[in-house]
A and B are shown apart, each in its own frame.
Chain A
Amino acid sequence: MIRIWIPADTAALAAGADETAAAFEEAAQARGVEIDIARNGSRGMLWLEPLVEAGMNHDRIAFGPVRAADAASVLDAILDGKEHPLGHGRTVEMPWLAHQERLTFARVGVIDPLDLADYEAHAGLTGLRKALTMEPAAICAEVLESGLRGRGGAGFPAGIKWKTVLDQKAERKYVACNADEGDSGTFADRMLMEGDPLLMVEAMTIAGIATGATEGYIYIRSEYPRAIAQMKAAIAVMEGAGWLGENIQGSGHSFRMKVRRGAGAYICGEESSMLQSIEGKRGTVRVKPPIPAISGLFGQPTVINNVLTLASVPLIIDRGAAFYKNYGVGRSHGTQPFQLAGNIKRGGLVEKAFGITIRELIEGFGGGTASGRPFRTAQIGGPLGAYVSEDMLDLPMDYEAMATHQAMVGHGGVVVFDDTVDMAEMARFAFEFCEEESCGKCTPCRIGAIRGKETVEKILRGENVAKNIALIDDLCELMRDGSLCAMGGLTPMPVLSAIRLFPEDFDRATPVAAE
């Protein structure tokens, strides 16, 4: 029987993967052949979704994008071993995939996501098996030594957080996984939870063992219903097999996990808002100190990490810190799953070691703009990240190098714009977004966003442009220095980068009032 892989990732479903799968069933029946359809995660070549594959393991051949109407002819090509206009040859040899360094995403799109045997056959559980034989302090040390930094955007060394929680004496400790991936241009957390959810359970369990935490929450935004369903199913699979719950595999370690659904608030991606939300409260930011590692969820010591940070851990434990640390540049170790989005010809997921240039991502992998018009800018690191100009494209994706140029890696999202973009409008939108999503606790963010939006609107109308730009500069300094969290603190980043790099867009032609 031939195995046909048709992704059930949300991105594939949004391109009609369910209809394609139904069409394959129908075509197989009409031909009197038996096929075994498996629903995998996505390989991340999102312009080719639904990407259909035939065969097993590394011997799979790919076709895409396969709409329902193409199913019959693709099935014929598979059965007869013939060429097809939608064929791409062996999946692993496709240049987009072959040029990546997939560590975190090694299994995504490859395995049947909830099949524990398939997971184990592809190196799943190796990290947890080893962690069960190690001292908690040794696990924390390994994570610290690997150089792993927070992939949510802040880039804080994960090992330091873990060690801090381990050193706390408390009745109960928690692991809280931040899966509130609200940044525009990012979808890596979603793809990972949908395509390799068992990995998240394994990773959080290791974090529990390493820090003495016995309960874990994964906070997933409500816009990701499929990720929520996959994670709940994965928890049940791991509990059923004795890899989660009381006395894991007879080791004496216990760890329980729960999924928490968000409710459409961007701010809940900020760690202390997320804790408030997990506790069933308004997602308002908490004042630090105390840091969550000392007093976090329900007032107890809590490890908070992003999905991608935690997902890197099983491999680090299995292969050792040195293996992971070898990837990357400077103080940015390991790989980052970058996400190519917006006006881009070949959008999707590119996992590469830190140090790849923005140009390699946008032009090499991405193939330039989708519209075919000239590139104008890219916003990197989400809605609070900076816009970059064409002459910055040779910058390496590296926390420090980006920071030197007043930009940031963030969660690795790259949103491309062509030359039709109005950067003054994007600056206005950055303030509007902050106004919509501010939790309201601190004044610089709550009021600053509104005043900022109004002031850019004056510029858009051509009113006292120079004076109003000076006012925005001043306001941004206040928001950056006076806000409680990154929402108000980083909104100046897209605004000021737009003004600095694209001043011509702010030079509105019809001034109505003289200086």
Chain B
Amino acid sequence: MLDETDPRVTAAAEICASHAYDPAELIEILHELQDREGYIAEETLPAIAQLLNISRAEVHGVVSFYHDFRREPAGKVVVKICRAESCQSMGASKLIARICERYNTDLGTTSRAGVTIEQVFCLGLCAQSPAAMLNGRFIGHATEEGLDTAIVEALS
């Protein structure tokens, strides 16, 4: 039985229905759920498993395999900074260290101010290294000052 009092579960059920309960669409279903709710709540996993007629282990396996899916809500501002070779050649490691220091947080965690800083391997902007993405917006030739301004703007 689905817990229909939990809005996250009803959201998951709606999305599964819109994909005709096709288990091959599981990744797309999880994307849409995360786009809507901000994360994949543990409570939604049994519901998705039941609706797609697959095991909970299979759903858990997919959610935990892919880097995109978060198990907890992120901060108000999500900054993804590329750590791949091309961006490293233009100082990405230093940039990440400075931004993390400025917001007093570590890669992969959320600061008290609500800034989540994450690593990503390649955004496809390798001729404009270092590259970053802030709440879905791409930034080429990222600098500490530029990112900081954009973060402050997005927080307010």
What residues of chain A have their CB less than 8 Å away from a CB belonging to chain B?
10-11, 13-15, 46-47, 49, 181-187, 190, 222-225, 260-266, 277-284, 298, 339-344, 347-348, 370, 379, 383, 413, 415-418, 421, 426, 429, 433, 436-437, 439
Contact = CB atoms under 8 A, between A and B. Distances in A.
A417 B90 CA distance: 8
B47 interface: no
Contacts of B76: none
A348 B125 CA distance: 9
Nearest to B136: A225
Contacts of A184: 82, 84-87, 121-122, 126
Interface stretch (B7-15, B60-68, B97-105, B109-117): B60-68
A223 B120 contact: yes
Nearest to A45: B127
A279 B52 CA distance: 13
23 contacts: A10-B125, A11-B140, A14-B125, A14-B128, A14-B138, A184-B82, A185-B126, A187-B124, A223-B133, A262-B27, A263-B67, A266-B121, A280-B26, A280-B62, A281-B61, A282-B61, A339-B126, A347-B126, A413-B126, A417-B89, A421-B89, A426-B88, A436-B121
Nearest to A416: B89
A187 B125 contact: yes
A280 B27 contact: yes
Tell which of A11, A340, A417 has the most Cβ of chain B within 10 Å. Answer: A11
Contacts of A46: 127-128
A277 B27 contact: yes
A265 B65 contact: yes
A342 B129 contact: yes
Interface of B (DSSP majority class): mixed
B79 interface: no
A260 B87 CA distance: 27
B30 interface: yes
A285 to B, nearest CB: 12
A281 B123 CA distance: 23
B32 to A, nearest CB: 10
A339 B127 contact: yes
Given A263-B30, A347-B127, 8 more contacts: A13-B138, A186-B126, A222-B31, A224-B124, A261-B27, A263-B69, A339-B126, A383-B84
Contacts of B123: 223
B67 A433 contact: no
Contacts, number: 144
Contacts of A348: 127
A233 B23 CA distance: 25
Nearest to B67: A264
The 6 A-B residue pairs with the shortest CB-CB distance in the complex, in nearest-first order: A347-B127, A184-B84, A341-B126, A263-B66, A264-B67, A280-B26
Tell which of B86, B124, B140 has the most Cβ of chain A within 10 Å. Answer: B124
Contacts of B31: 222, 261, 263
B144 interface: no
Contacts of B37: none
A281 B128 CA distance: 34
A106 to B, nearest CB: 20
A218 B25 CA distance: 14
A280 B24 contact: yes
B37 to A, nearest CB: 16
A65 to B, nearest CB: 11
A266 B89 CA distance: 20
B28 interface: yes
